[in-house]
Amino acid sequence: MHIELNSEEQAFREEVLEFLEQHLTPAVRRASRLSTGVFVDPPWSKEWHRALYEKGWITYAWPKEYGGCGWTPVQRYIYESEAARRGAPAVAPMGIGLVGPVICEYGSDWQKEYFLPRIRSGQDYWCQGFSEPGAGSDLSSLKTKAVRDGDDYVISGEKTWTTHAHFANMIFALVRTSREDRQQNGISFLLVDMDSPGVTVRPIITIAGEHEVNQVHFDNVRVPTRNLVGEEGKGWSYAKYLLEFERGGGAPSTRSRMALERYKTILRNEPGDTPGNRLIDEKDIQLRLGQLAARVVALETLDMRQVARRQAGGRPGTTASIVKTLGSELLQAIEKASMEALGPNGLPALTLDGPDFAVPNDTPLPEHGLAVAGRHLNGLAGTIFGGASEIQREIIAKELT
C-alpha cells in the first residue's frame, strides 16, 4: 500500500531501512523465509529480538512509560511493512505481544518491575497456557485448578497445543480458583515458572512432522501468590483483553505480504505451460496473483485502521476478529497457491527441520521451493488457533446485529 510520507516520516523510514540493512543478517532472513511454523524458532528469533532491544524498538507498541516508542500509526506502519518486505521474522509474541500488555495494564508494581524488563530484554521466553483438552473454543470451561495454600497456589491439570513450551521458561496460565454459577467467573491468571517442580512438557508433532506445539502437565505445581495477575477470579476479563491483542496485535498483513513475495519468487522461477514462459507470464496465474495482491492491500488498510485506533488509546475490539479471520484465510490462500505452483516438487521439503534448516544433499528442490509444503500444511492451523474462524464470525455478527 502506498501512503504519502511527510519529511519527518521519510526520515524515519530512512532510519528503519538503515537499521534493517545493518542488523537483519542473511542467516536470520533465511530462517524467517524457511520457517514453517507460526513463529521463527530461537535462536534466530532471539537474535532479532536482541537487535530490536538494543535499538530500543522491541516494545514499540507498549505504553511509553513501560518502554514503548510512542510512534504514530504511520511510523508503526512504516516499520512493520518495511521489516516484512525485507524478510524480518516476527518476534515471538507471547511475551512482547500478549502477557506484556496484560502486565502493563493489570499487573502489580512488583510484576511490572520484575517481569517487564525481562520480557523486553528477551531474558524470559513465554508460552501461553490457555487451551485444554475439551476447552478450546469454549475456553471458559477450563478445568486446570489452582488451590490457595498459604503464600502459594497449587496447580494441577493439563494445557494443550502450547506453542513453543519446549523453549519457554515462563508460561501464563488460566486456572480455575473457584467454581461459580457462570463458568467465566472463578478463573484466575497466573504467571508460572516452567522450571517449577511438577511441570512436564510433552511434544505434539504437527501435520508437517514438526515439533512446535506441546502438552503441558501441572502436577501440584506451587506458584507464589505474588504471581497472580490482578484479582483472583477475574482472569477471564484479563484473558479477553489479551485475546484482542492475539487476534489483532502487530500487523497481521505483514505475514501475508511476506507470503505474497515468496509466491512471486516461485512464479518467477518456475516454468509455465507455454514453452519459454515462466509461471508469472501466464495469464491465469497473473489473475490469481492480482486477486491475492488486492486482498493483501485490503488487509494492510484494515491493519492501518486498527493501528490508528490503538494509537489513539482504543482497544483492538471487533476489528481484531475481522483482521484475524481475513488474515489467516488469506495466508492459507497464498500458501495453497504457492504449493500448487510448485506441484509435487514441493513435497520433499517435508523433511526440512533441525537447527540449520539443513537441506539433504540429494534434494532436488531449489531454494524457492523449500519449506513451501511445511508452511502450507502447518498453515491449516491458522484458522483454528487464536480463536477459530467460526468463532470470530460469531463475534463479528454479534457486533453488527
Q: By CB under 6 A, name the binding residues for ligand FAD.
A: 127-131, 136-137, 161-163, 213, 381, 384-388, 390-391, 394
CB of 131 to ligand FAD, least distance (A): 3
Q: Would you say 71 or 161 has its CB closer to ligand FAD?
A: 161
335 is catalytic: no
224 preceded by cis ω (within 30°)? no
Q: Would you say 81 or 160 has its CB closer to ligand FAD?
A: 160
Phi-psi region of 188 (alpha: psi -120 to 50; beta: other; left: phi over 0): beta
CB of 173 to ligand FAD, least distance (A): 9
Pick the catalytic residue from 246, 270, 300, 335. 246
CB of 50 to ligand FAD, least distance (A): 23
CB of 155 to ligand FAD, least distance (A): 15
- Which residue in the block uniquely carries the three cell numbers 500448487? 340
CB of 35 to ligand FAD, least distance (A): 14
Q: Would you say 140 or 345 has its CB closer to ligand FAD?
A: 140
* Non-local CB neighbours of 115 within 8 Å, separated by 6+ positions: 99, 103, 107, 124, 191
Q: Would you say 22 or 141 has its CB closer to ligand FAD?
A: 141
CB of 392 to ligand FAD, least distance (A): 9
φ/ψ of residue 229, rounded to 5: -85, 130
CA distances from 222 to 46, 76, 115, 257 (A): 29, 40, 19, 44
Q: Would you say 96 or 307 has its CB closer to ligand FAD?
A: 96
Residue 209 CA to residue 53 CA, distance in Å, equals 33
CB of 127 to ligand FAD, least distance (A): 6
Q: Would you say 104 or 127 has its CB closer to ligand FAD?
A: 127
Q: Which residue is nearest to ligand FAD (CB)?
A: 136
Beta bridge partners of 228: 190
Q: Would you say 39 or 60 has its CB closer to ligand FAD?
A: 39
CB of 192 to ligand FAD, least distance (A): 13
CB 288 within 8 A of CB 114: no
Q: Would you say 129 or 374 has its CB closer to ligand FAD?
A: 129
Give the catalytic positions in this structure.
246
